């Protein structure tokens, strides 16, 4: 370029020099004594110099004069450029200015001492932003490395059509290993399908929506290959179209198991509440548990406090292999395990063939690989145990034991309640049959006079379900009377009296007229029912149909009256011929008193006539007694004389039979108060009966 051309361009260069945003300065190396810091003098600056550095009027000054304490590193860069002629680019923090500078330095050739041109820019704000970003990034990295949730930074992989087909693991935090069971070192950089064989398409499709469509998603899903449930939060990362996304997730498998177990428990409770047969209840529970646990059977055993003998009460079994009805604990467990059972402790055997506490061959013979025994407690007492059997060795988890415990705590009370309900139904059926078979009406009546409970016979007498004392329509159909003949008022009926607290026992005879107009004699007995507060809550009424009894009484009364009439007639009819016979005997005894045979005969006949007279008198006495008309004439009597007369009167009968009758007086008089005739009859009857 010629000098003319250079002169023409000089104004353009100056304009560019003065308008440029970067600071510029021209430095000249200053000679310094050996062993002292290098220094450079400012020869030229542009307007932007002051803006970028905040330094003013520095031309003619050295760097150390304008900016004391300038970092030696800066001088070293300038020395390097001045000596070698090689340009340098560096970023440096100037503590004196509290600024970061982005600097380009190069040497201008043909000058001695060397000159260095410097272009620089204040990048303090950029540096602060970078530091803030670095600190923020460090903070988040520390956060992600310390949180319990797993974190993964990934990139989606698409096919030629742009559809997601896989994703690659770029970065993970330490919790990732615990939550997935995958080793970070092994899978870092691998794709998801490589790291997790059999991974469901759901994950790739869902993360594809996040990375490619910019969606932020929160969801729960199960990973079958990892056998875990996850709560996942996924969001896009990086610039649009980069395919980058971040995932934060946690293992919720235990919660899901608990939810599933609680749902199963609720399903079991709801199902068994509708069943009444214990075997059906056991079968339903067994089917439900078998769907989620490796069970072959379970059974309920009765445990005795001080005995190793146990009795099976109920059982459910998937397989036909029988569990014994009776067993001895020591046949299956050692003393330590047996003691645990007697102490009411849970007993969990994960492998019956390796656990030293059990008799392996006994369990093997029954096809049992693992065992869970749970005591059923009621308050502080227990006498039953629920035993669960699995055909395989199985590592029973705490939440599974908790599920089985919950099932047991619902199952056994339900079975006991079902048994109680069955026993109650049987008892009620027997009571109802007994109640209905009673030949009398029995009913419970409330305080309003309404039937609460009654057998069929009772309903015959109370067809409207209300006792007659409270039902005006029935009052005319019930009749009862006082001894003086007055009719009872309804408030005097037995039910009304019992509702006032009276016990109407043995009852009141009442005449009831049924719907067909037939009269029925009844005896009504009522008693009040008292509660613990001595308040009447109702009454019990018993109505007995005594019509046949009344008929029998009337028939008996009629027969008795006819008997009395017959006896009286018979006695009177017999007295007349006996009187004639006695008169004839008197005449015979007067005709020939010298004939001993005749006199003996007359005496004998006379004695028999006296006997017949006494019999007639006794018949009349019976009639008088039955009619209540007998009269006793009591007086002071000497018992020995009375007996002497009776013996004398009856002795001829004994003599006629060839028997002797003797009386030995007591020796002292013995007086009694009585009727001489009746006492004489008593002695005579005793002697003649003998």
pLDDT at 3 > cutoff 70: no
Q: Answer whether residue 431 is part of any domain.
A: no
CA atoms of 248 and 253, how far apart (whole Å) = 16
Cα Rg, the chain, nearest whole Å: 64
> How many structural domains does the chain have?
5
Last residue of a domain, one of 387, 422, 457: 422
Lowest mean pLDDT among 141-155, 580-594, 631-645: 580-594
pLDDT at 107 > cutoff 80: yes
Phi/psi-derived region of residue 70, left when phi > 0, alpha when psi is between -120 and 50, beta in every other case: beta
Q: What is the pLDDT of residue 378?
A: 61
CA atoms of 413 and 406, how far apart (whole Å) = 12
For CA atoms 397, 398, 399, 405, give the dihedral sign.
positive
Q: What is the chain's mean pLDDT, rounded? A: 87
Residue 72 DSSP SS3:
helix
Same domain? 293 vs 236: no
What is the b/e burial string over 339-370, where b = at least 16 CB atoms within 10 angstroms of the residue's CB?
ebbbebeebbbebbeebeebeeeebeebebbb
Q: Answer whether residue 550 is part of any domain.
A: no
Supply angle C-alpha 310, 313, 314, rounded to 5.
Answer: 130
For CA atoms 331, 332, 336, 339, give the dihedral sign.
negative
pLDDT digits (tens, 9 = 90+) for 274-298: 888 989 999 999 999 998 999 999 8
- Token pair listed for 17: 């020099």
Q: 633 vs 674, 678, 680, CA distance in Å?
A: 7, 9, 13
Same domain? 270 vs 411: yes
Q: What is the pLDDT of residue 540?
A: 94
pLDDT digits (tens, 9 = 90+) for 427-460: 888 988 888 888 898 999 999 989 988 998 888 8
Last residue of a domain, one of 545, 576, 605: 545
pLDDT digits (tens, 9 = 90+) for 302-353: 888 788 899 998 889 987 767 888 999 999 999 999 988 888 889 999 999 9
Considering only CA atoms, which of 209, 249, 251 is closest in space to residue 233? 249
- Token pair listed for 81: 């450029």
pLDDT at 628 > cutoff 60: no
pLDDT bucket at 198, cuts 50 / 70 / 90: very high
Same domain? 417 vs 291: yes
What CATH number has the domain bearing residue 540?
3.30.450.20
Q: Answer whether residue 649 is part of any domain.
A: yes
Same domain? 389 vs 325: yes
CA atoms of 355 and 396, how far apart (whole Å) = 14
What CATH number has the domain bearing residue 389?
3.30.450.40
Domain around 329: 265-422
Which residues have a Cβ under 8 Å from the Cβ of 444 and sit 6 or more positions away? 451, 452, 453, 454, 529, 538, 539, 540
Same domain? 292 vs 389: yes
Q: Answer whether residue 556 is part of any domain.
A: no
Considering only CA atoms, which of 557, 507, 497, 554 is closest in space to residue 528? 497
Same domain? 412 vs 447: no
For CA atoms 449, 455, 461, 464, give the dihedral sign.
positive
Alpha-carbon torsion angle 75, 80, 83, 84, nearest 10: -160
The mean per-residue pLDDT over the stretch 154-163 comes to 94
Supply angle C-alpha 158, 161, 163, rounded to 5.
Answer: 40
Do residues 604 and 641 make contact, with C-beta atoms less than 8 angstroms apart?
no
Q: Answer whether residue 187 is part of any domain.
A: yes
Same domain? 382 vs 500: no
Backbone phi, psi, residue 311, to 5°: -125, 130
Q: What is the pLDDT of residue 373?
A: 92
pLDDT at 222 > cutoff 60: yes
Do residues 263 and 256 make contact, with C-beta atoms less than 8 angstroms apart?
no
The mean per-residue pLDDT over the stretch 152-169 comes to 95
Beta bridge partners of 25: 45, 118
Q: Answer whether residue 614 is part of any domain.
A: yes
Same domain? 413 vs 501: no
Last residue of a domain, one of 367, 394, 422: 422
- Token pair listed for 511: 């005449």
pLDDT at 581 > cutoff 70: yes
CA atoms of 500 and 607, how far apart (whole Å) = 68
pLDDT at 548 > cutoff 60: yes
- DSSP class of 351: -
CA atoms of 389 and 206, how far apart (whole Å) = 42
Same domain? 152 vs 241: yes
Q: What is the pTM of this model?
A: 0.50
Same domain? 619 vs 652: yes
Same domain? 121 vs 158: no
- Token pair listed for 5: 């051309």
Q: What is the pLDDT of residue 460?
A: 87
CA atoms of 83 and 74, how far apart (whole Å) = 14
pLDDT bucket at 589, cuts 50 / 70 / 90: low
Same domain? 380 vs 413: yes
CA atoms of 179 and 629, how far apart (whole Å) = 114
Q: What is the pLDDT of residue 690?
A: 57
Q: Answer whether residue 10 is part of any domain.
A: no
pLDDT at 603 > cutoff 80: no
Q: Answer whether residue 137 is part of any domain.
A: no
Distance of CA 648 to the CA centre of its chain: 94
CA atoms of 252 and 229, how far apart (whole Å) = 5
CA atoms of 45 and 50, how far apart (whole Å) = 8
pLDDT > 90 in the chain, percent: 47
Q: What is the pLDDT of residue 627?
A: 59
Which residues have a Cβ under 8 Å from the Cβ of 207 and sit 6 or more positions away? 154, 156, 164, 167, 234, 245, 247
- Peptide bond just before 113 cis, omega within 30 deg: yes
Q: What is the pLDDT of residue 626?
A: 60
CA atoms of 510 and 18, how far apart (whole Å) = 138
pLDDT > 70 in the chain, percent: 91
């Amino acid at each position: 370029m010629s000098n003319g051309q250079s002169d023409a361009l000089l104004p353009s260069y100056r304009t560019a020099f003065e308008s440029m945003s970067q600071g510029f300065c021209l430095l000249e190396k200053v000679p310094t004594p050996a062993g002292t810091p290098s220094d450079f003098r400012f020869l030229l600056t542009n307007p932007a110099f002051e803006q970028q550095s905040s330094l003013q009027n520095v031309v003619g000054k050295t760097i150390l004069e304008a900016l004391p304490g300038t970092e030696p590193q800066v001088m070293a860069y300038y020395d390097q450029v001045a000596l070698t002629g090689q340009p340098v680019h560096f970023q440096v923090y100037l503590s004196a200015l509290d600024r970061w500078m982005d600097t380009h330095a190069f040497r201008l050739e043909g000058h001695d001492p060397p000159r260095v041109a410097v272009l620089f820019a204040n990048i303090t704000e950029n540096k602060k932003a970078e530091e803030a970003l670095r600190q923020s990034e460090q903070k988040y990295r520390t956060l992600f490395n310390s949180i319990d949730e797993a974190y993964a930074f990934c990139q989606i992989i698409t096919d030629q059509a742009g559809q997601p087909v896989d994703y690659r693991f770029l970065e993970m935090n330490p919790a990732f290993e615990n939550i997935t069971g995958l080793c970070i070192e092994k899978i870092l950089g691998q794709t998801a399908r490589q790291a997790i064989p059999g991974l469901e398409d759901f994950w790739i499709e869902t993360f594809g929506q996040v990375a490619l469509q910019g969606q932020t998603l929160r969801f729960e899903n199960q990973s079958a290959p990892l056998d875990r449930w996850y709560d996942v939060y996924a969001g896009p990362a990086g610039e649009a179209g980069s395919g980058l996304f971040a995932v934060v997730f946690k293992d919720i498998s235990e919660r899901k198991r608990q939810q599933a177990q609680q749902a199963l428990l609720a399903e079991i409770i709801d199902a068994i509440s509708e069943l009444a047969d214990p075997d059906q209840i056991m079968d339903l529970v067994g089917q439900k548990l078998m769907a989620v646990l490796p069970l072959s059977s379970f059974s309920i055993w009765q445990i005795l406090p001080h005995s190793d003998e146990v009795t099976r009460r109920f059982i459910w079994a998937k397989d036909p292999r029988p569990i014994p009805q009776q067993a001895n604990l020591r046949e299956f467990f050692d003393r330590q395990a047996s003691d645990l059972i007697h102490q009411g402790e849970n007993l969990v055997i994960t492998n019956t063939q390796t656990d030293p506490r059990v008799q392996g061959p006994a369990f093997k013979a029954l096809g049992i690989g693992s065992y869970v025994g749970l005591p059923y407690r009621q308050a502080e007492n227990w006498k039953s145990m629920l035993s669960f059997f699995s055909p395989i060795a199985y590592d029973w988890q705490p939440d599974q034991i908790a599920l089985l415990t919950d099932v047991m705590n619902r199952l056994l009370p339900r079975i006991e309640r079902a048994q109680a309900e069955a026993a109650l139904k049987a008892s009620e059926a027997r009571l109802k049959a007994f109640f209905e078979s009673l030949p009398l009406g029995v009913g419970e009546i409330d305080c309003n006079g309404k039937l609460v409970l009654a057998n069929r016979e009772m309903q015959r007498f109370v067809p409207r379900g209300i006792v007659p004392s409270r039902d005006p329509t029935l009052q005319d159909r019930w009749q009862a009377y006082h001894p003086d003949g007055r009719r009872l008022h309804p408030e005097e009926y037995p039910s009304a009296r019992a509702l006032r607290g009276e016990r109407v026992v043995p009852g009141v005879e009442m005449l009831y007229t049924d719907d067909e107009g037939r009269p029925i004699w009844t005896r009504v007995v009522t008693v009040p029912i008292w509660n613990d507060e001595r308040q009447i809550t109702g009454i019990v009424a018993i109505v007995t149909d005594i019509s046949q009894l009344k008929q029998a009484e009337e028939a008996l009364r009629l027969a008795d009256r006819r008997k009395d009439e017959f006896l009286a007639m018979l006695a009177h009819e017999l007295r007349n011929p006996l009187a004639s016979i006695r008169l004839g005997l008197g005449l015979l005894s007067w005709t020939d008193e010298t004939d001993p045979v005749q006199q003996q005969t007359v005496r004998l006949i006379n004695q028999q006539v006296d006997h017949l007279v006494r019999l007639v008198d006794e018949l009349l006495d019976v009639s008088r007694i039955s009619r209540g008309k007998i009269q006793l004439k009591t007086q002071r009597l000497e018992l020995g004389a009375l007996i002497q007369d009776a013996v004398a009167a009856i002795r001829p009968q004994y003599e006629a039979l060839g028997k002797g009758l003797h009386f030995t007086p007591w020796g002292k008089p013995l007086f009694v108060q009585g009727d001489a005739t009746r006492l004489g009859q008593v002695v005579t009857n005793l002697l003649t009966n003998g």
